[in-house]
Chains A and B, each alone.
Chain A
Amino acid sequence: MLTLSRELLDRVIAHARADHPDEACGVIAGKAGSDQPARFVAMTNAERSPTFYRFDSMEQLRVWREMDDRDEEPVVIYHSHTATEAYPSRTDISYAMEPEAHYLLVSTREPDDTEVRSFRILDGDVTEEQVRVTDGTGGMIET
């Protein structure tokens, strides 16, 4: 299960909407081993494409070092699909290289309704998990 605050989820969705029709991507960092997403980091989609995303390599180095210095890890790796459902594509699965991360997918294909789903991707196997959204004070507002 992925648990994150409404504020963080809203920032992911806002980024996905802002970059639509291109795919948006980024991470939410959290203390290593905590499994708690805490720090939102929007990343540049170096491909600037409606069908593909890739973190800019130099930005990734900077952000990964910053996480290392702060004893953080990428708890959530998010990206948007702008014309298809929020489910990992074959490409997503083959390039998923962070076994500890929650892969959060956001679909912006419907203008008024944003589908959000979360997955673990390990050695080509996809497991969907529940997304629990909290109000930021420990209270749960929806699942």
Chain B
Amino acid sequence: MAIEVRIPTILRTFTAGAKSVEGSGDTLEALLADLDSRHAGLRDRLVDDAGLRRFVNVYLNDEDVRFLGGLSATVKDGDTVTVLPAVAGGMR
């Protein structure tokens, strides 16, 4: 068992086109580090110095990880992590 990570279209350049990849780790932070070892550059698109990027949504199963501690959220085998770019904009 592993953790399934679902990748949005715009980030599939980092996964050779794959819609989902697998990884491991005890926390979201460790999982992203593990993924980055095989999909270099992916982590940078999700995380900056302040933590999860503001306009990326990351979900653990059915919950937004922002409500679960962000990068320190606990993950385990069998979980599904879904990444979706936020849909946002404005007049300025």
Contact = CB atoms under 8 A, between A and B. Distances in A.
A62 to B, nearest CB: 9
Contacts of B88: 52-55, 91, 95
Contact of A97 (B59, B66, B85): B85
Interface in A41-82: 43, 47, 49-55, 57-58, 60-61, 64, 77, 79, 81-82
Contacts of A100: 9
Most buried by A among B82, B88, B92: B88
Nearest to A123: B10
Contacts, number: 81
Chain A interface main SS type:
mixed
User: What class of interface size applies to chain A in its complex with B?
Assistant: 20 to 34
Contact of B59 (A61, A84, A89): A61
Contact of A99 (B9, B66, B84): B9
B9 A55 contact: no
B57 A95 contact: no
Interface of A: 23, 25, 27, 43, 47, 49-55, 57-58, 60-61, 64, 77, 79, 81-84, 88-92, 95-100
Interface of B: 8-10, 55, 57, 59, 62, 64, 66, 82, 84-92
17 contacts: A54-B88, A57-B66, A61-B59, A61-B62, A61-B64, A64-B84, A90-B92, A91-B88, A91-B89, A91-B92, A92-B90, A95-B85, A95-B88, A97-B8, A97-B10, A97-B85, A99-B9
